[in-house]
C-alpha cells in the first residue's frame, strides 16, 4: 500500500473560497476515509492471522470462523434480504417420554422402612429409573412405596 499520510497535511482550509474547492475537499476526504477503512480491515485480518499462527505454534486452537445467524447477511453485515421472500418457518419439536425408550435390566421393589399409622393404605408405586453403565448399559428401576 502506498503512504497516504501526507495528503491530509497538504489541505489548506483557509484557501477554500468556492463551492468547487469545497467539493474537491470533500471528495479528497472521502477518498482518504475509504483508504483508511480498507487499510484498517486488512490490518485486522493480518492481526487475526498472526494470532491464529501464534495459537497454532503454542498448540492451541485458532479462533473459529463463526458464520452469521442470518444467512441473508454477509460477513460485513450487509443485508441481502429481499422483502418479497419470507423466511421458512420451523417445525415445532415433539417431546417424547424417555422411560418408554429405556430398557430396564433389573427391577427392585423398595418398601417403606418406617412405622406407618394404622389407617395408612397402599396407594401404589412410583417408578424411578436410575441409569448406570457397566461395560454394557445396566438400568435399575426402583418401585418406591
Name the percent of the chain lying above pLDDT 90.
Answer: 12
Residue bearing the bigger pLDDT, 39 or 9:
39
Instruction: Write the CB contacts of 11 (distance below 8 Å, at least 6 apart in sequence).
Output: 25, 28
Q: Which three cell numbers stand for residue 135?
A: 461395560
| Cα three-residue angle 83-85-88, rounded to 5 degrees | 130
For 53-112, the pLDDT digits (tens) are: 888 888 887 777 788 777 555 445 555 555 556 667 877 777 666 656 778 888 998 888
Which phi and psi angles does 144 have, rounded to 5°? -90, 135
Cell 487475526, residue located: 48
Distance CA 28, CA 30 (A): 5
Amino acid at each position: 500500500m502506498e503512504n497516504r499520510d501526507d495528503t491530509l497535511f497538504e489541505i489548506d482550509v483557509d484557501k477554500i473560497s468556492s463551492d468547487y474547492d469545497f467539493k474537491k475537499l470533500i471528495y479528497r476526504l472521502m477518498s482518504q476515509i475509504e483508504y483508511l477503512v480498507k487499510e484498517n480491515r486488512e490490518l485486522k485480518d493480518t492481526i487475526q492471522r498472526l494470532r491464529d499462527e501464534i495459537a497454532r505454534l503454542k498448540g492451541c486452537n485458532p479462533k473459529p470462523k463463526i458464520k452469521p445467524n442470518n444467512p441473508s447477511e454477509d460477513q460485513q453485515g450487509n443485508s441481502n434480504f429481499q422483502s418479497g421472500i419470507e423466511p421458512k418457518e420451523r417445525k415445532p419439536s415433539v417431546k417424547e417420554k424417555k422411560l418408554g425408550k429405556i430398557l430396564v435390566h433389573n427391577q427392585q421393589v423398595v418398601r417403606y422402612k418406617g412405622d406407618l399409622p394404622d389407617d395408612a393404605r397402599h396407594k401404589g408405586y412410583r417408578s424411578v429409573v436410575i441409569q448406570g453403565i457397566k461395560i454394557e448399559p445396566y438400568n435399575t428401576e426402583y418401585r418406591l412405596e
